[in-house]
Amino acid sequence: MANQRKALVVYGGMELHTPKRGAETVGDILSGENFTVTVTDDYDALGASDVGTYDLVVPVITDGELAKDKMTNLVEAIQAGTGLAGYHMGLATSFRASVPFRYAASCYWVSHPGNIITYRVDVTRPDHPIMAGIESFEHTSEQYYLNYDPAVEVLATTTFSGEFHPWRRNVEMPVVFTTTHDKGRVFYSSLGHTADELEIPQIRTILTRGLVWAARG
């Protein structure tokens, strides 16, 4: 269909994060939102000469590397309007060594004190279309501590109790945010340690809306 947008979902890295199942879930979500979706484990697809023809790219990748020329293609595509979206390890840990990608991704994972714990997700922008109708909720997973760009628009947060790292007691941290990288929209949610978590209604709704929001057009 002529009005369908195009999305590229690329997965890989740590199997603990169930990247293939996560990418397939993202693909199913986007197909349901009238996108034509390509799902692949070929990192080079993110830096191919045609990457700018995609309206959205979603790395479901822990760490990984992309050659400098291919990373340039990817970042230039985002700056020209291709949307960038990710959840949990995607964006926050993807392509750790690439400074240009870190700038676009707008966040960097540094810790999850206590590993799998129960923590609260507080919706701070209930007026934003991504968060509309979603109330604050308890979640059991990794509570991500991020280094993040102060330019982001924070839609939900979590607060660290200090139980595991007392020197970070009462630190409020983004869980969901949006921003832009030149003309490209960027969406990130730290929720979704494994693909199973993406089936939790609030998490799936946030991810679905965020993916659509980030896409060009």
Q: What rounded mean pLDDT belongs to the chain?
A: 97
* Percentage of residues of the chain with pLDDT beyond 70: 99
Contact 190, 85 (CB under 8 A): no
Give the tens place of pLDDT for each residue, 112-164.
Answer: 999 999 999 999 999 999 999 999 999 999 999 999 999 999 999 999 999 99
CATH, residue 208: 3.40.50.880
What is the pLDDT, as a whole number, of residue 37?
98
Mean pLDDT over residues 28-35, rounded? 98
Q: How far is the CA of 185 from the CAs of 139, 180, 198, in angstroms?
A: 27, 4, 22
Quote the number of domains for the chain. 1
What is the pLDDT, as a whole number, of residue 3?
76
Residue 174: pLDDT band with limits 50, 70, 90: very high
What is the pLDDT, as a whole number, of residue 2?
52
Domain that holds residue 92: 5-214
Burial class from Cβ neighbours inside 10 Å (0-12, 13-18, 19+) for residue 209 reads buried
Q: How far apart are CA 105 and CA 75, in angstroms?
A: 10
Checking if the pLDDT of 1 tops 50, the result is: no
What is the pLDDT, as a whole number, of residue 215?
98
State the pTM of this model. Answer: 0.97
Give the tens place of pLDDT for each residue, 74-114.
Answer: 999 999 999 999 999 999 999 999 999 999 999 999 999 99
